[in-house]
Amino acid sequence: MPAHETKAHDFFGLTRRGRRRAVNQDQFLIARLARSASQLFSSLTHVDNQLWEHESEAHLLVVADGLGTGGGRLASSLAVEVLAEEIAAAARGYWGLDVDAEDQLVDRLEGAVRTAHERIVARKESNDWLEVSKAASTLTMAMLLYPRAYVLHVGDSRGYYLHAGRLRRFTQDQTMEETLLNIGALPEDQAGESGLDKVLTRSIGGDDATPSLGLVDVEDGDVLLLCTDGLTRHVGDDAVAEILARDLSAEQMCNELLAAALAAGSEDDISIIVGRMGVE
């Protein structure tokens, strides 16, 4: 793939059934939403394609007639260049200056979560699932329109990113324990001992599926990590950071994280997605 077409990122994901589980209930998906705008023909002779060619869905048809002797050609050239640059930027997704369009994207992401929730609830009510009464799911997603990662989160799966060697978590577990800690009904020193860290207050298909919304702008060299609690209940943040900071591929990082979880005795299902930003 030509270097100018897209920023190269290195993604990998894996899932593994827990030792105690008959069926792996985790799922993961890494999808590329491919759209592109690229120059086919042009009278321009000095276009720097890197300025405006980008992934997006757009067809751009432009004619430009320069006016004035001497400067006309330069003017029309500049007009087309700038127009291409602006439209490609706007079509890059919703990354840009348009607040309304960006909010529409967030709305759509939120709507997708709501639809997933409604479908699960409908299936539960139709009684065509066995043992449906408690069917629900966590969901943590990041939609990357580089460099911006939009994050939606329901439940206790987690999202992190490593920046400048520092691991930062951009999700907060939506559990009964967190709720009690927040209102001061549970002392911090009793966290993890109550068993309430496994009781979800929000889940897709549960009583409350309201997602928390956020975003983070990442940079080349940053590493994104999404994972289920089969990893995070057994591998601490320091150990996760140490693995993500190594000079490894995304696949190797996933395997190292999985090995660390298994070595620490994880018997739950484990799903891990790693994305290395801006790799060469």
Is 48 near other proteins (CB under 8 A)? no
Tell me whether residue 40 or residue 185 sits nearer to other proteins (CB atom): 185
Is 99 near other proteins (CB under 8 A)? yes
Kindly tell me which residue out of 183, 238, 247, 280 binds other proteins, with binding defined by CB under 8 A: 183
Report how far residue 181's alpha carbon sits from residue 186's, in angstroms, rounded to the nearest whole number. Answer: 5
Contacts 24+ apart (CB under 8 A), 193-201: 197/156, 197/173, 198/156, 199/175, 200/136, 200/138, 200/155, 200/156, 200/174, 200/175, 200/176, 201/174, 201/175, 201/176
Tell me whether residue 72 or residue 165 sits nearer to other proteins (CB atom): 165
Tell which residue, 134, 136, 108, has the closest CA to residue 120: 136
Is 214 near other proteins (CB under 8 A)? yes
Kindly tell me which residue out of 18, 136, 170, 256 binds other proteins, with binding defined by CB under 8 A: 170
Terminal C-alpha separation, the chain:
12
Is 182 near other proteins (CB under 8 A)? yes
Report how far residue 159's alpha carbon sits from residue 168's, in angstroms, rounded to the nearest whole number. Answer: 9
Number of residues that bind other proteins (CB under 8 A): 26
Task: Find where tokens 């930027």 sit.
Answer: 89
Is 225 near other proteins (CB under 8 A)? no
Give the nearest distance from C-beta 139 to other proteins in angstroms: 17
Is 168 near other proteins (CB under 8 A)? yes
Residue ranges binding other proteins (CB under 8 A): 96-100, 102-103, 106, 147-149, 151, 168-170, 172, 181-184, 212-217
